[in-house]
Structure 1
Amino acid sequence: MKIENDPNDEVCELVNGVEVSLGELEDSIHAYLFKAVKNNNGTGILLLSDIFGSEDSFTRDFAYRIACNGFNILVPDLFHGNPWSKDRPRAMFKEWIAAQSRERILKDIWRWTKWMVDEFMAAGISKKLGIVGFCVGGGRVLEVLAQDTGACFGAGVSFYGTTMESLDVSDIKVPVLFILGDNDPLCAVSAVQNINKKIDGGSKVVIFQGRGDGFAHRPGSPEEDADAEKAFMIMREWLNDNLVV
């Protein structure tokens, strides 16, 4: 395991950002870790990005802000340096997404989960980890929690998760917070409500009227900014209540 300070980061008294890598050569995987400095509550959070990847500025800004509230946020590069880009022709999307192996991505997630267990739980800092995801990452949240069955993760947050309908969520043993808009063609309210009914343990669905995909972490208007702020506060309280308090 290798950790390097990012020379491009501005010094911040609240958050320290470092590059993290596991493995060697072609087997190596990378992530970015935001660690709270002054107000660190010892809790580790795994943040799964949308298709734009771990280096996307919106994802980094969101992770940074969570860390400013006392958490330690790991953002893995699940696309191995090849995230989707808005500059690419839309016709290339099917080819790109087909190359993103589900098995490989899940393997990476579990490798990083083990690292976080060793980093936070084995050290006696965190009792449980948290997991948060956007869009496709929001769908992975449920998949990971179903496989984990409460062993490592104590709570999850799924922001407008996609490809969730076919998942078996009956093995999820921890509470999940679902945040979505009612105008999202990729994440239907009815589907999320049906999934929520199958999860034991005090899960919750929060629906924002008139909002579509991505509003909470990449708002595109002053109105979305206001709802993004509300969504962040709801998530923060959820993480505090289920992992810290």
Structure 2
Amino acid sequence: MGLVSTLSLPFPLKVPPRPHLLSSALLRCYPSFKRCTSNNQRCSYYTKHAICKVSCSQVKLEEGIDDEACELVNGVELTLGEGVDCFRSYLFKAVKNNNGTGILLLSDIFGFEDSSTRDFAYRVACNGYNVLVPDLFRGNPWRKDQSKANFEEWLAKQAPGRVAEDITTSTKWMIDEFLAAGISKKLGIIGFCFGGGRLIETLAQDQGTYFGVGLCFYGTRMDPSLTDHIKVPLLFVSGDNDPLCPVGVLMDMEKRIGRGSRVVVFKGRPHGFAHRPESPEEDGDAEEAFVIMRNWLNEALTVSNY
């Protein structure tokens, strides 16, 4: 393990369940989904062009279901907003053992359709959550085949105000679906890279009104001054070999936020290791990061609500 750590974690590490069987409904949504037959098998859960249509409320909990295996997950594509301000998003809803809690997941620059992002969102939903992943780039994410020389030009087209408004719209949709239904007291928010920076802005604006906890994976272009306005605990996860997310900055933000916030640093790990592991060693640390994240969310959003 490459965990450096900062403060001791107030919860035990447990092995996360692996998706081993997908429902027929989910297979219809994702015809190219693989089946996991081993707890050690990593699977790809996403097919780009598969879309499910919805015509009713997404929040419907199933009762009387008890299964130690990974909960089945339904995935549906949504259109949020109105008129020219509408945008696509994707909702992963736990079918079994749904805890009624909504999680907003803000993607990295590769967007909401990226397989690594959706794999991660699926696994979070497997633990009982309802995970909404909005298209922060309105159909124009950064592509891996683009020249890095064009990155700043591309980024300049992602108007901060428009991105912030889409996040607000996504939050309001979750409030209507989950909080108004009386089955979730607070929402959670996860951000990767670009999304991590936007997570800081979102929590600073929200000030604890709707979000009860945040988790930032190696956030980029973060504004440390905004941490003075964040009113909920925030968990930072990063590698110490990541020039885009200096550990010193995270430590300072942790202290300024307080409220039980933590920084977890993985030794030798680069940017993106937790949701884009590129070696067996990174994969092992990615698993540990996922367990830490899962227990952090559970402690803040489910245990505290009972």
**TM-score per shorter chain, which class?**
over 0.9
* Aligned-residue RMSD, C-alpha: 1.6
Write the letter of the residue equivalent to 2:281: E
Write the letter of the residue equivalent to 1:101: A
Comparing 82-91 with 127-136, greater Cα deviation is found at 82-91
The residue number in structure 1 matching 2:30 is 9
Q: Is the CA contact (8 Å cut-off) linking 2:274 and 2:285 kept in structure 1?
A: yes
Cα shift readout 1:128-153 (whole Å, capped 9, x = no counterpart): 00000100111111111110000000
Alignment of 1:1-245 (within 5 A): 8-10=29-31, 14-245=72-303
User: What SS does structure 1 have at the residue aligned with 2:235?
Assistant: strand
Q: Is the CA contact (8 Å cut-off) linking 2:109 and 2:194 kept in structure 1?
A: yes
Write the letter of the residue equivalent to 1:210: G
Q: Is the CA contact (8 Å cut-off) linking 2:81 and 2:169 kept in structure 1?
A: no
Write the letter of the residue equivalent to 1:203: S
Following the alignment from structure 1 to structure 2, what is the Cα–Cα distance between the partners of residues 34 and 195?
31
Following the alignment from structure 1 to structure 2, what is the Cα–Cα distance between the partners of residues 126 and 238?
17
User: What SS does structure 1 have at the residue aligned with 2:265?
Assistant: strand
Bigger strand fraction: 1
Q: Is the CA contact (8 Å cut-off) linking 2:224 and 2:253 kept in structure 1?
A: no
Following the alignment from structure 1 to structure 2, what is the Cα–Cα distance between the partners of residues 43 and 207?
27
- Listed as ranges, the gaps of 5+ residues in structure 2 are 1-25, 36-70
Write the letter of the residue equivalent to 1:219: P
Q: Is the CA contact (8 Å cut-off) linking 1:22 and 1:28 kept in structure 2?
A: yes
Write the letter of the residue equivalent to 1:115: W
- Listed as ranges, the gaps of 5+ residues in structure 1 are none
Structure number with greater CO (CA < 8 Å, separation at least 6) is 2
Write the letter of the residue equivalent to 2:285: D
Following the alignment from structure 1 to structure 2, what is the Cα–Cα distance between the partners of residues 7 and 29?
23
Pairwise CA distance, 1:200: 2.8
Following the alignment from structure 1 to structure 2, what is the Cα–Cα distance between the partners of residues 166 and 119?
32
Following the alignment from structure 1 to structure 2, what is the Cα–Cα distance between the partners of residues 215 and 184?
10
TM-score (norm 2): 0.76
Following the alignment from structure 2 to structure 1, what is the Cα–Cα distance between the partners of residues 195 and 85?
22
Q: Is the CA contact (8 Å cut-off) linking 1:18 and 1:32 kept in structure 2?
A: yes
User: What SS does structure 2 have at the residue aligned with 1:230?
Assistant: helix
Following the alignment from structure 1 to structure 2, what is the Cα–Cα distance between the partners of residues 167 and 78?
23
Pairwise CA distance, 1:8: 4.2
Q: Is the CA contact (8 Å cut-off) linking 1:143 and 1:167 kept in structure 2?
A: no
Following the alignment from structure 1 to structure 2, what is the Cα–Cα distance between the partners of residues 93 and 6?
36
Following the alignment from structure 2 to structure 1, what is the Cα–Cα distance between the partners of residues 81 and 239?
39
Write the letter of the residue equivalent to 2:235: L
Runs of 4+ in structure 1 over 6 Å off: none
TM-score (norm 1): 0.95
User: What SS does structure 1 have at the residue aligned with 2:229?
Assistant: coil
Following the alignment from structure 1 to structure 2, what is the Cα–Cα distance between the partners of residues 131 and 166?
18
Following the alignment from structure 1 to structure 2, what is the Cα–Cα distance between the partners of residues 220 and 207?
18
- The number of residue pairs the alignment matches comes to 241
Cα shift readout 1:107-145 (whole Å, capped 9, x = no counterpart): 000011000001001100110000001001111111111
Pairwise CA distance, 1:9: 1.6
Pairwise CA distance, 1:95: 1.0
Q: Which has the larger radius of gyration?
A: 2
Following the alignment from structure 2 to structure 1, what is the Cα–Cα distance between the partners of residues 82 and 188?
27
